[in-house]
Amino acid sequence: MGLDSPVYQRRRPPTARELADIPWVARLQPDERERALAVLVVGEAHAGDHVCRLGRPPTYWFGVVEGLLKVGVESAQGDAVTFTGVPSGGWFGEGTAIKREPYRFDARALRKSLVAGLPIDTFHWLLDHSIGFNRFVMDQLNERLGQFIAAREIDRLHDPDARVALSLAALFNPVLYPGVRDVLRITQQELAYLVGLSRQRVNEALASLQERGVIRVEYGGVRVLDVCALRSYPLHV
């Protein structure tokens, strides 16, 4: 959210309802909460807007109050690699924020999204003073490590059904994405962007998973019926 970012230009203080959807705020002590809320902002990201860019220095730690972001890199030749999607309730980039190093990825909105930002200096102040905040960030880092190990495994898979299943499972992570719960609000085209397959092939994979009783495709999203089977696909399906 650089100074030239349209998301930054649309920034404003969060409402009480929006604050309730930011999971780490409830872990703060009153003085810590007061300090954080004085500088915490939200901004509307339209589809295609960058939230952060490869090579730029971090100014905020980001989260998605509502919507969906894609985190990845794209070469000068147009080859794209997606690291992860970030749905509602998810926060990302804590490793970059801790090290204050330039971003090694781009984060872009796949659809109209509401993005929250905590200034980097306040992020570090909370790390220095808040036990609750530290525990939240540690949990994030631990889950993120497991997520990227799984992502490497997904990249090696040649079975499109397994790619879709494991990519969906990564988005149903209650620690990283507490806002998702049982239903992920995502279109088949958005899922295709995240998985790196065609929309038609994603549709076929979802139909196969639904036939097996693992998920149910609903209007505007996907409901998980057996998250354990989804995470262990194809071993236990």
Q: Which tops the pLDDT comparison, 22 or 149?
A: 22
- Tokens found for residue 218: 């609903």
- Is residue 202 within 8 Å of 217, Cβ to Cβ? no
The Cα–Cα gap between 235 and 231 comes to 9
Residue 67 has pLDDT above 60, yes or no: yes
Residue 235 has pLDDT above 60, yes or no: no
Residue 94, in any domain of the structure: yes
Residue 110, in any domain of the structure: yes
- Residue 3: pLDDT band (50, 70, 90) is low
Same domain, 67 and 137: yes
Which candidate, 51, 22, 46, 21, places its Cα nearest to that of 36? 22
Residue 173 CB neighbours (<10 A):
21
Number of domains the chain is built from: 2
Same domain, 106 and 30: yes
DSSP code string of 20-84: TT-TTGGGS-HHHHHHHHTT-EEEEE-TT-EEE-TTPPP-EEEEEEESEEEEEEE-TTS-EEEEE
pLDDT recorded at residue 32? 98
Q: Which residues contact 19 (CB under 8 A, 6 or more apart)?
A: 25, 37, 40
Give the residues across from 70 on adjacent strands.
85, 108
* Domain extent for 208: 158-231
Strands (E), the chain: 41-45, 50-52, 60-66, 68-74, 80-87, 91-92, 106-109, 113-119, 183-184, 215-218, 221-224
Residue 185 has pLDDT above 70, yes or no: yes
What H or E segment, with its residue span, contains residue 121?
helix 120-129
Same domain, 14 and 113: yes
CB-count burial class (<10 Å; 0-12, 13-18, 19+) for 156:
exposed
CATH classification at residue 223: 1.10.10.10
pLDDT recorded at residue 1? 64
Same domain, 123 and 30: yes
